[in-house]
Amino acid sequence: MVPEDLSKMKAQVYKDERPEEYFARFHERARTREPNWVYELVRSVTVLWGLTAFRMRSYASENVPTSGAVILAPNHASFMDHFFTAAFIRRRVRFMAKSQLFRKPMQWIYSPGGVFPVRRGAYDEDAFATAYSILDRGGAMVMYCEGGRTRTGKVGDRARPGIGRIALQSGAPVVPIAIYGSHKVRNWKRLQFPKVTISYGEPLRWEQVARPTREQQQAVSDEILLAIKGLYAELEQHGRKGVAARVRSERAAKPASAA
């Protein structure tokens, strides 16, 4: 049986019938310009909302490099996951989002805020080109290895190869991220406000490959998804206190190991 809050979610649309030319302007902006003041405005509003309504907390956000190219890979269960991922990171994060979101008036917020489209249901090389452009400039980018949102409240069972391709061809590290509780954020309409917790894992790195095979891409994607599942299971089993204790222990051990 599907939980009530998930059963009421709108069906996801997997194919955008608009031509690729429609999205060229959004890709051009993402490739040539950085997010502007819209990013900071939206970030301020969503962080305040997250802290107040969902008692949002994060652990080990220092695992995200403060500079240089990086791919942030969270699980995906809510339209708010973009904002939860970036809330505790002190750098402007770019988002790859489904093209269906790029409609008036929201496209006037998404594009200036650093979001770029990917056409689901199509072989979208423009989205890959934009991703490489951002990473080549040392940017931080969010990409979901599950593709779309899950409907079960759990991490998806299948990773898509796209994130593996970008990780291998760009050589950028990937930070696996578990977001716990976001599948229930729509419950605020019934005055139910779940706690949302974000746990950042250690960066994963692979040797750069100019032309990775489909099997190589899938293997990397699967490894990323496995890391996300591990972080999510830890939150599910041990809660915030357990994760906090583990993070404190790791921080305390780092100076000794470095010595």
Give percent of the chain with pLDDT exceeding 70: 91
Domain regions of the chain by residue span: 20-252
More confident site: 113 or 147: 113
Give the pLDDT of residue 184.
Answer: 79
Q: Which of 1-15, 98-112, 196-210 has the lowest average pLDDT?
A: 1-15
Which residue has tokens 């699980």? Answer: 75
pLDDT number for residue 4:
44
Phi, psi of 114, deg, nearest 5: 100, 10
pLDDT in tens, 47-75: 999 999 899 999 999 999 999 999 999 99
Please say if the pLDDT value at position 172 is more than 90.
yes
Residue 6 vs residue 178, higher pLDDT:
178
In this prediction the pTM is 0.88
258 pLDDT tier (thresholds 50, 70, 90): low
The per-residue b/e assignment along 63-101, b for 16 or more CB within 10 angstroms, e otherwise, is bbbeeebbbbbbbbbbebbbbbbbbbbeebbbbbbbbee
Q: Is the pLDDT of residue 8 over 70?
A: no
pLDDT of residue 48: 95
Q: Regarding beta strands 93-98 and 140-142, do their DSSP bridges make them parallel or antiparallel, or are they unpaired?
A: parallel
CB 175 within 8 A of CB 201: yes
